[in-house]
A and B are shown apart, each in its own frame.
Chain A
């Protein structure tokens, strides 16, 4: 849905670095380099990043579409 606030395993706060990570991945950088750069050293925290999909972006589209439809009626 949206990036978990903390790592499920160790409890380290990770959400604050998600935006930079996802922007840089979109920019074509290798996730390994970004994670090293952001200081995410443990593999429990690293998998939080590489396995996450921000589904909330897709769900917001449904909301916007229904809101538009509602306005047009």
Chain B
């Protein structure tokens, strides 16, 4: 297994994972989407809401705010032994909000949620929740807990999470006369005529669409588009709840935990 060509930018990462099977690459993708736990608001107790949005509408909007997640000090509610409906200090974080529009219309932002534990806060303070006209009031308590994307998309740590095979393009220079027709048809603009020879600029961008082959005037096309079934280009974007490298790391840990659970179950059968 090997990591290469790592490009990290803010909340997004792109890397090539080599020496694995498609099954493993897909398992990683699915676990990142559905099983890496993050924090999200799950219970909202509305004390007063005279805004123009229904309580459910508000609660849904609160739920979708990504919260900074601390996986070391919080545990999943199903693993907690408190058994209480709203959870305990180990399995939930709480927020309060009390806001009233006095003389003018105001916009309520995610940053107006007052966290109990400063470690768990909205990733972004500038998400508009609702607008209040003068005289309208909002008072509520919100409870966040760890959850997984398989339960609700608000617990999903990633927005984009994809992989594709690493493309391999070979050009038979004996057959190609560098007419440049394929260059125009490549939707990713990665083909180029350089010194009267057809070259590939950025192979990672190729989508395997084969437009270059279809539009080559030659009877047997000099271009051959293939892919490696052992190298995968991953493209992942975090919504900020967890650092992007932590998501990949957690996904690998989750797969490992499942495997070791199965192995210990089997051991008991011996």
Interchain Cβ contacts under 8 Å between A and B, 20 examples = A2-B53, A2-B130, A6-B239, A7-B159, A11-B159, A12-B159, A12-B239, A13-B66, A13-B124, A13-B127, A13-B159, A13-B240, A18-B128, A56-B53, A60-B105, A60-B131, A64-B133, A67-B133, A67-B134, A67-B135
In the complex, what residues of A have CB within 8 A of residue B17's CB? none
Determine the distance from Cα of A1 to Cα of B57 in the docked complex, in whole angstroms. Answer: 11
Hey, what's the 0/1 contact readout for B110-131 against A, CB within 8 Å counting as 1? 0000000000000110111011
Q: Count of B residues near A, CB < 8 Å?
A: 28
Q: Say what secondary structure dominates the interface of chain B.
A: loop
List the 3 shortest-distance A-B pairs measured between CB atoms, nearest first. Answer: A5-B64, A12-B159, A16-B126
* Cβ contact within 8 Å between B159 and A57: no
Residues of A within 8 A of B (CB): 1-3, 5-7, 10-13, 15-16, 18-19, 42, 56-57, 59-60, 63-64, 67
Query: Apart from A12-B160, A16-B124, A18-B128, what are 8 other A-B pairs with CB-CB below 8 Å?
Result: A1-B53, A1-B57, A2-B130, A56-B52, A56-B130, A56-B131, A63-B133, A64-B134
In the complex, what residues of A have CB within 8 A of residue B52's CB? 56, 59-60, 63
Among A2, A11, A42, A60, the residue within 8 A (CB) of B153 is A11
Report the minimal beta-carbon distance from B247 to chain A, rounded to whole angstroms.
Answer: 13
Determine the distance from Cα of A1 to Cα of B66 in the docked complex, in whole angstroms. Answer: 21
CB closest chain-B residue, reference A59: B52
Residues of B within 8 A of A (CB): 52-53, 57, 61, 64-66, 105, 107, 123-124, 126-128, 130-131, 133-136, 153, 156, 158-160, 237, 239-240
A12, A15, A18, A42, most chain B CB atoms within 10 A: A15
CB closest chain-B residue, reference A39: B10
